A and B are shown apart, each in its own frame.
Chain A
Amino acid sequence: MYGLFLRHFYLITRSFPRILDLIYWPSIQITLWGFISNFFASHTTYYNNAVGVILTCAILYDFLFRTSIGFNMLFLEEIWSRNFTNLFIAPMKISEILTSLIFTALVRALIGLIPAVLLTSPLFGISILELGIYLFFLFLSLYIFGITLGILVSAGLLRFGPSFENIAWSTMFLLAPFGCIYYPIEILPEIFQKIAYMLPLVYIFEEARNILINNTVDISNLIEAYMLNMIYIIISITLFFYSFNKARDKGTLINIGE
């Protein structure tokens, strides 16, 4: 028994991502649901006149989740199937690999999104299409941010190998409390608000609620979201190229496929 315990103890203590994984899951869950509970306890009438706001935000968040995880899955599939080396010895530029993964992730996310959108109307009498033309801009912004997260995690996988996989699964949950998906930003403590304002998610979900609840459009929210998206996607692509070069230097590209 002690031997089996040691086998897992050694595994965990030798991998920083695994330690992080153990620590942050409970913390994130408690933080997220704490804020949601707080909000509903103190703002019981907030959603009274806008049936479907929560469901709409859930669909938007799911699209973000699917885009990001979808991108990571494409990368992880190659590692799991031990095909990673075959991919990186094919005559493809890194930019071509990224472009094909970005496009494939979109197709995957849309395959999940379309049935969800179609189901909400007959089941709950709600149509996400009420967001109008702005729905496209909200989705596009979420797609860019999802891809950004996917590229960042893939850069980590390249640099640190498969042990970074746990981070891939949990980035979205890590950001969820700061994304203000189900509650306005005011519910967060001041320090968390400062962090949240650095993410495009706040502007996207604030704007979705604004359109649905107030029937007005605040373009500045969309502009803020796109500006932040541009900054983060440039950072993530730069980091991916840096990780690729580091992986070539450290030998991760050879070991990751084995």
Chain B
Amino acid sequence: MKTLVEVQNLKKNYGDKQAVKSISFKINENEILGLLGPNGSGKTTTIGMMLGLLKPTSGEILIEGDKIEEDRIKILQKINFISPYIELPKKLTVKQNLIVFGKLYKIKNLNDRIDYLTSKLRLSDILNRITGELSSGQKNRASLAKSLINDPKVLLLDEPTASLDPEIGDFIRSFLEDYKKEKKISILLASHNMNEVTRLCKSILMMKDGIIVDSGSPASLIEKHGRKNLEEVFLKLSRRPNEHN
């Protein structure tokens, strides 16, 4: 299976503080990799480096063999990101936002792309509404459409269903499963929703204090740690003193 993302010995220091301490992992095409860890474990820092928003202290990030530090623009063309902490401009309509980002990503046949995403993400009724006036679920679907506007090969998701009701959350999860299968993209999913991670991810990285403390499939981790579910595994690993420090 083709590897789309390769992270090698990635480190990030903020002064004396080591936020990420030499982590390595790969994401294959048609794979969703879960990135779990308590707040401050280094998940956002890792995603920030993958997006080129943060400069690694050392190590490399390769997307389809291209290094982010050397080919930032080329890589940003085939990657995208969604987070509840980032919003689309509120005063623009959903359609205007999609046009703006389509232009920023230099999308050919932009109208076709918008039509495709509109139908897939149930956006037809809200396409001409002001983004700031939408509900959380509608905003989330609009942001997801933006994150897919460039038909990314790698999608980074930071808590994509946080603050959504169960129905919308389920819709988003089903959409992501189908979209991944259809497009064979790589997805990195950072989430605190253990049911979501169990459902979507074949493999998981557990981070704590900037290192990967464990990895494997949800089932193998549950079995290895002798717990009932992933949430209990998460709690065990989060509370355990770090052996690597």
Stretch in B87-95, B186-194, B202-210 touching the partner: B87-95
B88 lies within 8 A of A254 (CB): no
**B1 beta carbon closer than 8 Å to chain A:** no
CB distance from B82 to the nearest CB of A (A): 10
- Contacts A85-B53, A89-B53, A249-B55; A257 near B76 (Cβ below 8 A): no
Residue of B nearest to A89 (CB): B51
How many whole Å from A152's CB to the nearest CB in chain B? Answer: 22
Within 8 A of A (CB), among B27-80: 44-45, 48, 51-55, 73-74, 76-77, 79-80
| Pair A90/B101 contact, Cβ less than 8 Å | yes
Q: Is the CB of A93 within 8 A of B89?
A: no
Q: CA separation between A81 and B86, bound complex, in Å?
A: 8
> Quick one: which of A84-103 are within 8 Å of B by CB?
84-93
Q: Is B105 a contact partner of A254 (Cβ separation < 8 A)?
A: no
- By a CB distance below 8 angstroms, the chain A residues around B53 are 85, 88-89, 248, 253-254
B104 touches A81 (CB 8 A): no
Chain B contact-residue range equals: 20 to 34
Residue contact A250 to B14, C-beta cutoff 8 Å: yes
Give chain A nearest CB distance to B64 CB in angstroms.
14
Q: How far is the CB of A85 from chain B (nearest CB, A)?
A: 5
Per a CB cutoff under 8 Å, which of A85, A91, A245 touches B105?
Answer: A91
Residues of B within 8 A of A245 (CB): 55
A89 touches B52 (CB 8 A): yes
Q: Which residues of A contact B86 (CB under 8 A)?
A: 82-86, 257-258
Cβ of B44: which chain A residues have Cβ within 8 Å of it? 254
Residues of B contacting A84 in the complex (Cβ-Cβ under 8 angstroms)? 86
Chain B residues with Cβ under 8 A from A82's Cβ?
A: 85-87
* B81 adjacent to A85 (CB under 8 Å): yes
A86-B86, A248-B54, A257-B86 are contacts. A91–B48 as well, Cβ < 8 Å?
A: no
- Give min CB distance, B69 to chain A, whole Å: 10
A84 to B86, CA, bound (A): 8
Q: Which residues of A contact B55 (CB under 8 A)?
A: 245, 248-249
B146 at the interface (CB under 8 A from A): yes
Chain A residues near B54 (CB-CB < 8 A): 248-249, 251, 253-254
Residue on A with the closest CB to B13? A249
A139 to chain B, nearest CB (A): 29
Give Cα distance in the complex from A89 to B101, angstroms: 11
5 nearest A-B pairs in the assembled complex, by CB-CB distance: A91-B76, A90-B104, A248-B55, A82-B87, A253-B53
28 chain-A/chain-B pairs, Cβ below 8 angstroms: A77-B89, A78-B89, A81-B91, A83-B86, A83-B89, A85-B51, A85-B83, A86-B101, A87-B104, A89-B53, A89-B76, A89-B79, A89-B81, A90-B76, A90-B101, A90-B105, A91-B73, A91-B74, A91-B77, A91-B104, A245-B55, A248-B52, A248-B53, A249-B54, A254-B44, A254-B45, A254-B54, A258-B86
